[in-house]
Chain A
Amino acid sequence: MIRYSLFIALFVLFIAEGTVYQIFAPDFRGFDYLLLPRWVFVVIIFAGIYRGRAMATLYGIVFGVMYDVIFSSVLGVYTFAMGLIAYLLSITHPFLQRNLLVGIFTCFTAVVVLEYFVYGIMLLLGFTTIPHEEFFYIRFLPTVAMNVGFIAVIAYPLRKWFYYLRQKQEEQSKFNS
């Protein structure tokens, strides 16, 4: 159970993004800016710092596939972007693990790269024609602010949880040997 707890948490976040959040989405209730949830993605990036590169890349690809198949009209965009960004940014250096702010900054970088990558692909394939200025002010800035705010709020409890998981796993491996 403990082994799969992170996956279950990410899956619940995924459902929250696509189903629960969409029912209460602020842009449907007269809010002019788009706040797009990237919660699964930021948690994957944050987990990459504490739980290692292989796991982050795997989860990036798995949830990227789910994004692509369920929500997107083009396959492969999120799979590639989430997998690659998770691979590049999961640096398990103790310096990053000790400083929460650096971890939050890593998530900020990841969201910036993801938003621009997806915008670029959509522009290239002709799915959108919105100019860069509109993208930047209506979509990009509010989205980045919301997701960085999200990870900033849960960063501390999340780190505690990751340390707890590591401790549990070490105990288990000692017990088994």
Chain B
Amino acid sequence: MPSFFSNKRLIVLLVCIIILVALIGYSMSERRSLTWPEQFITDSVGWVQSAFSRPAHFVAGFFENLDDMRNLYEENKILKSHLDEYASLQVELNDLRRQNEELKDSLGVRDNLYDYTVRSALVIHRSPDRWNEFIGINKGAQDGIEENMAVMTSKGLIGKIHQVSQFTSTIQLLSDQARNNRISAFVDSDNKINGFIEGIDSETGYLHFTMIDIRAELEEGQLVVTSGLGGVFPDGLLIGEIISFETDEFGLSQTAYVKPTADFYNIDYVLVIESRAPTLSPEIDPDVEGEES
């Protein structure tokens, strides 16, 4: 027994294993925000990363442009046919917008979840081991970014802000497999059909849209958008289109497969969406009243 304890290396190894387990336990705890050493490391490395990522994106973009040029003619034809449609839609949109404003004025409704601020940010890194789907951007708490804000590209929603540092932050993509990666969404049809977007199918690349009411009538090709019920997420950000659906294993709800409109792979710039709508007005918020009394 004494010879066992005299082995200094073994003791150091054991201590290291204990520290490893403690660190894993610490970082697995829920709702953890970054500590200052972590913020220092991510910010200082992030500064160098943004310096490197700009030229790299530029080179990648250059090759994509060359690729695009080949099918320019085809694309132009399709776009022209869309243009006629666009004019008539524009007239209809203006009309509806004016009508909507008038109706809102008459009802006295001011805020809605469509009000949001948009900040654009550059993608500076992505985890090289594909065990999680995190990407880093070059804006952080100093630029007004907060946890759980919605993040999208021009094509659709891609995820939410996971951790915020002072000058950088991390985004958890919709395709991340972690169990807490869940977003409230609904199907854009005559009657709202609610559910949750939860993880991705690794083979097909379709998102799981779960917890849909068993009586709801789904159709292929319907659009899925964010519901805004979470509070931080604004209403009506496009996620994808329903490809197929089935009753889940217990027969209590339905699961649909949603093809995301956004591309999760070649991302260079992202838009961080901050919903400006207050969750509850101060007069009726029970927490505010509790503090006063």
Tell whether A80 pairs with B20 under 8 Å between CB atoms, given A19-B49, A36-B128, A122-B131: yes
Question: Which residue of B13, B24, B125, B266 is within 8 Å of A75 (Cβ)?
Answer: B24
Question: Which residue of B19, B52, B268 is within 8 Å of A76 (Cβ)?
Answer: B19
Question: Which residue of A15, A77, A122 is within 8 Å of B52 (Cβ)?
Answer: A15
Contact present for B130 and A72 (CB under 8 Å): no
Contact present for B57 and A125 (CB under 8 Å): no
Interface centre among B22, B56, B57 (most CB of A within 10 A): B56
Task: Say yes or no for A130: interface residue by CB 8 A criterion.
Answer: yes
Interface size on B, residues (CB 8 A): 42
Question: Which residue of A27, A73, A77 is within 8 Å of B178 (Cβ)?
Answer: A73
Query: Which residues of chain B are near A79, meaning CB under 8 Å?
Result: 20, 23
Contact present for A23 and B60 (CB under 8 Å): yes
Query: Which residues of chain B are near A23, meaning CB under 8 Å?
Result: 53, 56-57, 60, 266, 268
Question: Which residue of B16, B23, B42, B52 is within 8 Å of A19 (Cβ)?
Answer: B52
B12: nearest chain-A partner, CB-CB: A87
Task: Say yes or no for B126: interface residue by CB 8 A criterion.
Answer: yes
| Chief secondary structure at chain B's binding surface | helix
Distance, CA A34 to CA B129, complexed state (A)? 9
Query: Which residues of chain A are near B27, meaning CB under 8 Å?
Result: 73-76
Distance, CA A31 to CA B24, complexed state (A)? 33
Query: Which residues of chain A are near B60, meaning CB under 8 Å?
Result: 23-24
24 A–B contacts from the bound complex (CB under 8 Å): A15-B49, A15-B52, A18-B49, A18-B127, A18-B128, A19-B125, A23-B57, A37-B128, A70-B125, A72-B129, A72-B131, A73-B132, A74-B23, A74-B24, A75-B23, A75-B26, A76-B23, A79-B20, A80-B16, A84-B16, A118-B131, A121-B24, A127-B177, A128-B177
